Amino acid sequence: MNITNDIITAFINTFYKNENKDLQELRAFAEAQHVPIILRDTEGLLLNLLRIKKPKKILEIGAAVGYSACCFAEGCDCRVVTIESSPQAFEIARNNIENMGFSDRVTVLSGDAREVLVKLAEEAEEAAKDDPEGGFDVVFIDAAKSHYKAFWDLAMPLCNDEAMIICDNVLMKGMTASDEYDPGKKYKTSIRKMREFIQYITDLPYADTCILPVGDGVSISVIDKGKNS
């Protein structure tokens, strides 16, 4: 189920195109195998945002098979660091990134993002002495939904001022908006945590956030670190 309307989404998707044949094949594989990658309308939105933002470095939390990282690297000619917690998915992502020729622009790291982000922050603190603008211009969060707040807080020290933080799947097939989309009450904890996360980021004084019903719900936040002191 799409969170807007299946007919409208299908119509929008008729205009979708990615001219990279390798990415076309990877998307087809992921969709056939039900591997969670960014939806087609979400991809279109994000690529145009990145073209406007023109980031030099993107941090992605949740590599899956490496599709979105390669898509971002190609779409705006930037460097991408992506983190994957599943050892199996990490190997698949690394192989895909290498086979498609993106190894020079995409680095995939293995491990629990909460631990990896701490290490990256320690490295960034030392590197900032020589390059104060060496952080990330965009952060894309697309991993375990119940950990979004932790990912956000741990990624903040890695962000440059005026960075953009994008979170995918924040409406969770409509469940975030209404319990009626979870009739079996299977996802009560995840729903509660996502609602708390959305409230958290929309209340932050240093983040201007909007939530869009694109794909499975996308939040877009622009950071002003000057308001976080």
Annotated binding site for Mg(2+): 142, 168-169
CA atoms of 148 and 150, how far apart (whole Å): 5
> Backbone dihedral region of 176: left (phi > 0), alpha (psi from -120 to 50 degrees) or beta?
alpha
Tokens of residue 167, six digits: 């979170």
Number of C-beta neighbours around residue 47 at 10 A = 18
Buried b (16+ CB within 10 A) or exposed e, 143-180: bbbbbbeebbebbbbbbbeebbbbbbbbbbebbbbeee
Q: Give the residue among 99, 32, 104, 108 at the shortest CA–CA distance from 68.
A: 108
* Binding-site residue set for S-adenosyl-L-methionine: 38, 68, 84, 112-113, 142
* Binding-site residue set: 38, 68, 84, 112-113, 142, 168-169
Using the Cα atoms of residue 170, residue 174, residue 176 and residue 182 in order, give the sign of their dihedral: negative
Judge whether 79 and 58 are in contact, CB under 8 Å. yes
β-bridge partners, 213: none
CA atoms of 51 and 49, how far apart (whole Å): 5
Residues 6+ apart with CB under 8 A from 211: 170, 171, 198, 202, 217, 218, 219, 220
Three-state secondary-structure class, residue 208: strand
